[in-house]
Amino acid sequence: MKEPDEPNNQSPAERPGALEATAAHSAAQWRQAKAALGQEHGLGAGREAGDRLCQLIREDGQLVAVLVWCAAAWHLKARDETVGWDAVTRSQRLKLVVQLRRFLVLEATRRPNLASQCLGAGLRALVGQWESQHGYRPLLAESFSDPESHAGTVYKATNWVQAGLTKGYSQDHTDFYVPNGRPKKIWLKELAPKACVLMCARELPQACQAAEGEGGGARSPLKVSQLQSLRDAFREVPDPRSATSRRHPLTAMLGLVALGLLMGARDVMDIWRKVACLSQSQRQALGLHVRDKQSGRLTMPGYDALNDLLGAIDPAAYARALTTYLQAHAGLLPRSLALDGKSVGNGRCGMIVTLCRHEDGRPVAMTVARGKKEDSEVSEGRALLADPQVELANALVTADPLHNKEDTVRVILDKGGDYLIGTKENTKKRLAAATQALKGSPLLP
């Protein structure tokens, strides 16, 4: 985009001292940007999520700054309230928001006002470059600043608006968040006139429509008529919550967790994201009854409510109820199954051991493990395979080397299944035998 005072016959790239924002297209350009961030940025190069764009800001051919944009944060209360989104609309249109993940002005080129000039140049080129690379135009940019170390002057100078503060949580491992005591300022920048109005409109502008999806997760694998039976499956599970903490019915919340798992979720956060897009009829079928006072629409439990419940629930009772439901409705299991264990409920429940379908990750049987020697992923995984409810006839069961135990594979064979299990140093004799048997084979490097 042309500078306001730029002569019509001269481009920014041709004018001495002008800043030019170009998008990185090659791996070499990305490496150049990552190297600069790794050496000079306080948070390092980082890792982008979703669609991404790297801008290289040059002055007279010299690199002076790097901006890296990527997918927006899944849920920011202050941002979503500013836009006017509910959870369903956000899950469908989140791609319309891009996040300034990293911004660096190289130390050797620093001078007064250069940071705001570089950010301004990047913003002017952002929409066109993003559309060129990803096929749709974003409408809003977001970024964060730490009030303990930055005043956010560069955002104020480029007309960003402070929307509020984050709650001050950091992701710990892959499935839960812990407080870090350092809330960040949330900054928003509209990339088109009346961007927030457009983002809530019944129909998006044509150039933005490719960003709209079906929702934050996959479509529900169960019909509305089937969701009630899923809810009913958990009526015998004891409710660990106090009488004052039962805002949402236990059967409804456990049904949401089960539905998230059936949709392929790998952890509590993923479960919450996937079920956020359920329709009003689906929410009603699961037994949710709390309604928003203004809109009258059924509301969803928050992430914290689901996470806290999974930290308090009897995991064995829940796993038994879910396995009974899955087996009653699944018939014969698919031919290709994977045995896997994942921590859940802030790690307070140990882990859930799941037998799931290879093609889509949906579970067909589950159990729990506390992580102790007598109650480990190995022993509980073997018990899950041996459960009379779990049919393995004509099924191929895969597992990681942790499950390479004679007792485990014997269960699979005795139930008419086959197995494909890795081997490594924890089974040295088998590893040596396999290596010798495959010596000279193209199957080994």
Q: How many CB atoms lie within 10 A of CB 149?
A: 8
- For the chain, how big is the Rg over CA atoms in Å? 26
Domains of the chain: 19-211 (3.40.630.30), 219-313 (no CATH), 329-445 (3.30.420)
pLDDT, tens digit (0-9, with 9 covering 90-100), for 186-209: 999 999 999 999 998 888 999 999
pLDDT at 214: 54
pLDDT, tens digit (0-9, with 9 covering 90-100), for 311-370: 888 888 888 888 888 777 654 444 577 787 776 555 555 677 888 877 666 677 888 776
Is the predicted pLDDT of residue 55 greater than 70, yes or no?
Answer: yes
pLDDT at 275: 86
Q: Provide the token pair at 105.
A: 């002005």
pLDDT at 65: 95
CB 369 within 8 A of CB 377: yes
pLDDT at 20: 92
* Percentage, residues of the chain above pLDDT 70: 81
- Burial class of residue 278, CB neighbours in 10 A (0-12, 13-18, 19+): buried
pLDDT at 313: 87
Q: What integer best gives the mean pLDDT of the chain?
A: 81
pLDDT, tens digit (0-9, with 9 covering 90-100), for 386-402: 988 888 877 888 888 88
CB 261 within 8 A of CB 255: no
Q: Provide the token pair at 398.
A: 């895969």
**Band (17; pLDDT cuts 50, 70, 90):** low
Q: What is the pTM of this model?
A: 0.49
Distances (CA, A) of 253 to 80, 250, 310, 407: 24, 5, 10, 36
pLDDT, tens digit (0-9, with 9 covering 90-100), for 241-267: 998 889 999 999 999 988 887 776 777
Residue 421's DSSP bridge partners are 399
For 70-75, which contacts have Cβ atoms below 8 Å and span 24 or more sequence positions?
Answer: 70/98, 70/99, 70/101, 71/95, 71/98, 71/99, 72/97, 72/98, 72/99, 72/142, 73/99, 73/142, 74/216, 74/273, 75/303
pLDDT at 1: 29
Q: What is the DSSP track for 113-165? A: THHHHHHHHHHHHHHHHHHHHHSS---EEEEEE-TTT---HHHHHTT-EEEEE
Q: If you average pLDDT over residues 200-229, what whole number do you get?
A: 76
Give all strands of the β-sheet with 161-165 in edge-to-edge order: 19-23, 53-59, 62-71, 97-105, 140-145, 185-190, 161-165
Q: Which of 387, 376, 434, 430 is nearest to 411 (CA)?
A: 387
Residue with structure tokens 């809530």? Answer: 200
408 three-state secondary structure: helix
